[in-house]
Chains A and B, each alone.
Chain A
Amino acid sequence: MPRITVTVDGIRYEEEVEPRLLLVHLLRDRLGKTGTPVGCDTGNCGACTVMLDGRSAKSCSVLAVQADECDVVTIEGLGRDGELHPMQEAFRTEHALQCGYCTPGMVMAAIDLLRDDPDPSEEAIRQGLEGNLCRCTGYCNIVRAVRRGAQEMSGEEVRTS
């Protein structure tokens, strides 16, 4: 079985993995990172989005072996010292979640969006989150949360690990 080395939320892991193991299952079932949910199983919903070497990726569409020697940041790696990341805080403040299933992916996609566009318009946010589906809250509060998160983070380096 292939042996991989992967850094997840700042901790280095060495794992023997079956080639068919998906990154999302490595995170959840082997490393206990259940903050990253499995959503649609078809690559559409974006709930399982993580940062892979600094850019957003759908962890259901990446093999664990493909993440060998890579740096992964999940929703669980965003907070610091018990404090939520500003984007997480903004989602809470703006009531940008109801069931919460899409939220980890939404937050990761939103942070990725800010790397290119630190002050995105509503239109840019809607475009930037096109790969992430919400089936209950609706998108209005999510868009507001991303605007707020962007303002809170303005001037700060976008931190993902």
Chain B
Amino acid sequence: MIPAAFDYIRPASLDEACHVLDDAGEEAKVLAGGQSLLPLLRLRLAYPAALVDLGRLPGLRRVEDRGDHVFIGALTTHDEVLRSPVVRGHVPLVALAAATVADPAVRHRGTFGGSLAHADPAGDLPAVALALDCVFVARSAGGEREIPAAEFFVDYLEPALRPGEVLLGVRVPKLGEGWGFHYEKFHRTAQAWAVVGVAAAVRTVGGSIEEARIGLTNMGPTPVRARAVEAALRGVTPARPNGNGAAGGSRDPLRDACGEAAEGTAPPVDLHARPDYRRHLARVLTYRAVRAAGA
């Protein structure tokens, strides 16, 4: 379908963008790459009075190594993120998840900040931002503000950004030595949204899990930090795989711990899965993700 009519504004600077958004209030939507927004407009699921196109604002399309963290500018495309040597070297979980977003053509246009600000719990990056305790940097006419990932995803498609606020980028903390990472995504077809996804960062010492951070995709109205399974994983020594790649012995303590993965979640029901199936997936995929992350 053809989208409903809207006004189009392309501010030339960040200051102008903040003022335009401030004036427009709730009626305006920010346009970056448009890969989530344009399908919504075409299906007439959204009717913004105006689109404020930030796609060409200078300075927001970059990746910077800043010592203890990596800064990813909001307008950096998924394709640029997943190819960035800084991202791959220091915060590889972000690159692993970005590589699973949609398909190559969408990754050329879709932006890192756009997909986070879209706050879709089925998106791949929000769970990663939660697992890594990222910090969101936003700017309004009143100045800059930092928002921890744990406070950023307020509700379904609702980020903690206020009208008039622009997401500048995200600080992704480096976790240092000894960590392994994996993003495990279960989807029906190559480019489809995750039915469930699991972002895992795991630190093992001497074969035992010292610390695990687990973010869940599409297990509720917001992405979920799975604290219960993180606690259950602490101190677990996974069974060694036998020759067939399966865990040896009758019980794998890792599999038992992963039984906590769906604790406290409120997974949605849709055409593809019911909540009980999603809970099952969360447990199985967490096991796979933690294994693939090196445990």
Contacts and interface: CB of A to CB of B under 8 A. Distances in A.
Interface of A: 2, 18-20, 22, 25, 41-44, 46, 49, 52, 55-58, 60-63, 65-66, 109, 112-113, 127-128, 130-132
A131 B2 contact: no
B109 A113 contact: no
B251 to A, nearest CB: 36
Contacts of A19: 5-8, 51
B102 interface: yes
Contact of A57 (B5, B42, B55, B105): B105
A18 B39 CA distance: 17
Given A42-B39, A43-B35, A61-B39, A20 B5 contact: yes
A130 B191 contact: yes
B160 interface: no
A42 B55 CA distance: 21
A25 B6 CA distance: 17
Nearest to B51: A19
Given A113-B104, A130-B104, A20 B53 contact: no
B108 interface: yes
Given A19-B7, A130-B191, A61 B35 contact: yes
B41 interface: yes
B104 A62 contact: no
Given A22-B2, A43-B106, A130-B103, 13 more contacts: A20-B6, A22-B3, A41-B1, A43-B35, A43-B39, A52-B108, A56-B105, A57-B108, A60-B42, A61-B34, A112-B105, A130-B190, A131-B190
**Most A C-beta atoms less than 10 A away, residue of B3, B10, B53, B108:** B108
B24 to A, nearest CB: 14
Q: Which 6 A-B pairs have the closest CB atoms?
A: A131-B103, A19-B8, A130-B190, A56-B105, A55-B108, A20-B3
A61 to B, nearest CB: 5
B46 interface: no
A44 B4 CA distance: 21
24 contacts: A2-B8, A18-B5, A19-B6, A20-B3, A42-B39, A42-B42, A46-B103, A46-B105, A52-B109, A55-B79, A56-B108, A58-B106, A61-B35, A61-B106, A61-B109, A62-B34, A62-B109, A63-B51, A65-B10, A66-B31, A109-B104, A109-B105, A112-B105, A131-B106
Interface string B17-38: 0000000000000010011001
A41 B79 CA distance: 23
Nearest to B108: A55
A131 B105 contact: yes
A58 B109 CA distance: 9
Interface residues of B, number: 30
B269 interface: no
B91 to A, nearest CB: 22
A61 B39 CA distance: 7
Contacts of B105: 46, 49, 55-58, 109, 112, 131
Contacts of B53: 65-66
**Most B C-beta atoms less than 10 A away, residue of A22, A43, A44, A58:** A43
A128 B104 contact: yes
B124 to A, nearest CB: 14
B55 A20 contact: no
A60 B79 CA distance: 19
Interface in B162-197: 190-191
A146 to B, nearest CB: 13
B43 interface: yes
Nearest to B8: A19
A66 B34 contact: yes
B186 to A, nearest CB: 16
A66 B55 CA distance: 8
Nearest to B41: A20
Contact of B38 (A56, A63, A112, A127): A63
Nearest to A17: B8
A113 B79 CA distance: 13
Contacts of B191: 44, 130-131
